[in-house]
Amino acid sequence: MTDLSTSLFGKKIKNPFVLASGVLGVTKASLETVAENGAGAVTTKSLSLEPRKGHENPIIVETECGMLNAVGYSNPGIEDGIAEFSDWERTEPLIMSIVGKDEKEFTLLASKIEENKEQLNCTAIEIALSCPHTPGFGVMAGQADPKAAERITTAVRKETSLPIIVKLSPSVPGEVEAAKLAQKAGASAINMGNSLGPGMKIDINRGKPVLGFKMGGMSGPALKPIAIRCVYDIYEAVKIPIIGTGGVNDGQDAIEMMMAGASFVGVGTALYFRGPDAFKKIESEMRAWLKERSYKKASEIIGVAHE
């Protein structure tokens, strides 16, 4: 049987699949369910300093090529977030995702997690620089630009000894440079990446944009080829591992992402298309494909597209 297990920042994990931030992850119980349902590691919904209600509904709409969402970083704030996710007991690593308006906010958030890291029992901090639809954050605040990514990563690195994952955007030019500068600033891994866009869906019967925020980030099939290309380019530029996130819906998508250079594969929207046990389905599909071709370990395919 092909071995899918790998290691994330020194922790053995059963497979390379990571629940992407923003999908479920409001509660510890939901992350436990996702881990139970097959994820190798899980990421919380992003936490900000203050509670945020997020954008008005609709926050999501299906399109002919994937999902468009504008959740708007709804979260109860870092204090409640730490209380919520504390005492993580499962073996699947817990990744704490944070979002700030500037490096000062990121610094404060990282220091709060650092102070509580034993209580949380978390494995890494993910700094999301790349949401395409929330004013003051991510792409709309210029955080996915190379210089900003370097500045924020440097600031967070000073606050914590935890591994830092820097989540970049597939729609901001300079993503390779951003990944290089994040690595230089002390990032432990790159997550490429966030949703694409922003895009818009107009309901023609009502003649109005559907999303409450009008525009949102595109995920699912439309995102996949772009995420693959971004991962491919970043793999050539950095030594730290890459979490390839974007449009992975089945085992073959995950294999493609790893061949592009991802050591880990982020999964999000597939939980809608494939259901709550998407991780188990993706895992068994990947295993079957690799077994048929006599691979002993999934890690053998990482970056083979470059050879």
Partner 1 sequence: MVLRMSETFSPNIPIQTARVAKVSTESEKVKTLELNTRLVCQPGQFLMVWVPGVGERPISIANNDPLTISIANVGKMSGELHKLKPGSLLSFRGPLGNGFKVHEGWKRILVVGGGYGVAPLYFLAKMATSNKIKTFAVVGAKTAKEIVYEDKLYLVTKETFVTTDDGSKGAKGTVMLEVERLMTTAGHKPDAVFACGPERMMLAIARECLKHEIPCQLSLERYMKCGLGVCGSCDLGGKTVCRDGPVFDALEALGLGDFGTFKRDASGKKVPI
Identity of the residue, 68 or 179, whose beta carbon is nearer to partner 1 in the bound complex: 68
Closest distance to partner 1 from the beta carbon of 85 (Å): 11
Identity of the residue, 27 or 154, whose beta carbon is nearer to partner 1 in the bound complex: 27
Closest distance to partner 1 from the beta carbon of 267 (Å): 11
Lookup: tokens for 126:
């993910």
Identity of the residue, 199 or 261, whose beta carbon is nearer to partner 1 in the bound complex: 199
Map tokens 């995702």 to a residue. 97
Q: Which residues contact residue 101 at a Cβ distance below 8 angstroms, ignoring those fewer than 6 apart?
A: 136, 137, 141
- What count of other Cβ atoms lies within 10 Å of the Cβ of residue 118? 8
- Helix crossing, 146-157 with 175-184: angle to 10°? 20
Pairing of strands 196-200, 264-267: unpaired
Spot the catalytic one: 65, 122, 131, 230. Answer: 131
Catalytic site residue 122? Answer: no
Q: Which residues contact residue 93 at a Cβ distance below 8 angstroms, ignoring those fewer than 6 apart?
A: 8, 9, 11, 13, 41, 42, 122, 123, 124
Identity of the residue, 61 or 305, whose beta carbon is nearer to partner 1 in the bound complex: 61
The DSSP H or E segment spanning 74 is: none
Closest distance to partner 1 from the beta carbon of 152 (Å): 24
Lookup: tokens for 147:
């210089």
Identity of the residue, 24 or 148, whose beta carbon is nearer to partner 1 in the bound complex: 24
Instruction: Let me know: does 45 contact 21? Beta carbons within 8 Å.
Output: yes
Identity of the residue, 66 or 170, whose beta carbon is nearer to partner 1 in the bound complex: 66
Closest distance to partner 1 from the beta carbon of 268 (Å): 8
Residues that bind partner 1 (CB under 8 A): 22-27, 29-30, 32-33, 45, 51-54, 56-67, 69, 71, 74-77, 80, 84, 203, 205-206, 208, 210, 212, 220-221, 249-250, 268-269, 271-276, 281
Closest distance to partner 1 from the beta carbon of 50 (Å): 9
Instruction: Let me know: does 56 contact 211? Beta carbons within 8 Å.
Output: no
HEC string of 9-68 equals CCEEECCCEEECCCCCCCCHHHHHHHHHCCCCEEECCCECCCCECCCCCCCEEEECCEEE
Among all residues, which ones are annotated catalytic? 131
